Amino acid sequence: MGDTVTYERQGRVAIIRYNRPEAMNAVNGQLRRDLNAAWETLRTDDEAWVAIVTGNGKAFCAGADLKDPGSAVGNDEHSFWEVPSFTSLESGKEIWKPVIAAVNGYAIGFGLTMVAACDFVISSDRAEFGFPEVQLGVPTVQGSVRMPRMVGWQNAMELLLLGDRVSAERAKEMGLVMKVVPHDELMDEALALADRLITNSAPLAVRATKEIAKRGQEMGFVEAIRFGETMRKVAGATEDAQAFRRAAAKGEKPAWTGR
């Protein structure tokens, strides 16, 4: 990773930060590459069980850098259509660890697409959300696919077709945001949620459940149930599942190891 995205771990929690505050964390080619590298690091970091993504400065992410729009997809040398897919979390990179968005400010365009790709969204009361692409003469693709499923048709159309920003409270009404908190409490709230995920639940069972939930939306009902039962058998054979059975027999709480 370069300087435009940081990756740090606090115990089992990986914190990924957009780090281009002088440009409101707008996505240029370098930030896109650094962000993709951060998600790959998370995917392979066995010590990280939960991730929080947030921004340094006044913005979460203000969208594409309009001074460098072509490279914001992460490949300066080729056209948009030749960029390999599934290299970023937003475009479908498969990361089954829980991801929390701690939205500290503007989440616009690419920034809101990132928010929509996360499992939990905690928002500062100062944050604003929007897809301005139609006001720039182009459609938003990821947002158009994700939003109707996430917030329902009319709420999605409010974001996608009007292009205006909405407040954190309006985003919560839509179902886009789980919780709105005072700005200074944002990271404490996100870390508290991460701690609950780490202490309450076996990490491999969490990842299996997230994968079942995600893939199940793309399958027929019978196929989804069969897939889920297969995943349950796999998770049931882990050391954590065996540790739970031993601990339950003694009336104790299991100590999860992620194995």
Q: Which CATH superfamily is domain 5-198 in?
A: 2-enoyl-CoA Hydratase; Chain A, domain 1 (3.90.226.10)
Nearest of 153, 178, 158 to residue 168 by alpha carbon: 178
Contact 123, 145 (CB under 8 A): no
H, E, C per residue of the chain: CCCCEEEEEECCEEEEEECCHHHCCCECHHHHHHHHHHHHHHHHCCCCCEEEEEECCCEEECCECCCCCHHHHCCCCCCHHHCCCCCCCCCCCCCCCCEEEEECCEEECHHHHHHHHCCEEEEECCCEEECCHHHHCCCCHHHHHHHHHHHCHHHHHHHHHHCCCEEHHHHHHHCCCCEEECHHHHHHHHHHHHHHHHHHCCHHHHHHHHHHHHHHCCCCHHHHHHHHHHHHHHHHCCHHHHHHHHHHHCCCCCCCCCC
The predicted structure's pLDDT at residue 72: 53
The predicted structure's pLDDT at residue 76: 43
* pLDDT lower than 50: segments of the chain: 74-84
The predicted structure's pLDDT at residue 206: 94
User: Which tens digit of pLDDT belongs to each residue from 139-178?
Assistant: 988 899 999 999 999 999 999 999 999 999 999 999 999 9
Q: Does the predicted model carry a pTM greater than 0.95?
A: no
The predicted structure's pLDDT at residue 173: 97
CATH 3.90.226.10 range(s) for the chain read 5-198
Contact 179, 196 (CB under 8 A): no
User: Which tens digit of pLDDT belongs to each residue from 2-25?
Assistant: 799 999 999 999 999 999 999 999
The predicted structure's pLDDT at residue 213: 93
The predicted structure's pLDDT at residue 80: 38
CATH topology classification for 202-249: Lyase 2-enoyl-coa Hydratase; Chain  A, domain 2 (1.10.12)
CATH 1.10.12 range(s) for the chain read 202-249
